[in-house]
Amino acid sequence: MFTGIITDLGEVLELEQAGDLRARIGTGYDVTGIDIGASIACDGVCLTVIAKGGDPRNWFDVQISAESVAKTTIGGWAVGRRLNLERALKVGDELGGHIVSGHVDGVAEIVAMHTEGDSTRFTFRAPEHLAGYIAPKGSVALNGTSLTVNEVSGCDFGVNIIPHTKAVTTWGTAQVGDRVNLEIDTLARYVARLQDWALR
C-alpha cells in the first residue's frame, strides 16, 4: 500500500526486453535500506525490486510483466525519463494522501492546462469505463500522486496542482497530450461493487 505522497524523483537508466521488461531506475533513496522483494511505486505502478546497487549512483531493478506494460504508460518509458517514486507504507507512517494500491486502472490524458493563481489547473480525460468512479472532491492517483478532484464533466475531470507538488514531482514538466497512469479511489470501487450487488 502507498499514500500517493511522492518521496523521490527517479530516472530510467536502462531498459532491457528479455522475456519480461527489466528496468533500472536511478534513485535518491538509500538502497541499503531497500530489501530485495520490496515494493516501490514507479509513476503509480507497484513494482518489485529484484536487484539494487550504488555505483556510481543508487539504483534498483524491477521486472515488469507484459500486462503491466499494456495497462499503463510503461510502454512509453525511455532512458532518461523521470519517474515519481514512493516506497511502500509502513505501519505507523503518516497517511498524508489517500490509500493507493499501486494497481493502475487505466491511462488518462492531459487535455488542458492553465494557470490559476500560483497553481496549475489540469484537465484530464479518463477512459469511459472509469469515468463513473471519479467524483468531485474525491481522490485519484495520477502517476502515483494523490490528488483531489475539483470537478467532473463526462469523462473529463480537473485538479489543481500547487507549486510545491510541481517542484518535487514530474508534474512540473507535464504537457497537454501526456498520458498518465490513473488509479481510482479504492472506496469508489467498493461502493460501485456494492451497488451492483444491491441491484441483483
How confident is the prediction along the chain (200 residues), in pLDDT tens digits per residue? Answer: 899 999 999 999 999 998 899 999 999 999 999 999 999 999 999 999 999 999 889 999 999 999 999 999 999 999 999 999 999 987 667 777 788 999 999 999 999 999 999 999 999 999 999 999 999 999 999 999 999 999 999 999 999 999 999 999 999 999 999 999 999 987 776 676 677 777 77
> Whole-model pTM?
0.93
List domains and CATH numbers for the chain: 8-87 (2.40.30.20), 106-198 (2.40.30.20)
Q: Which amino acid is residue 45, in one-letter code? A: V
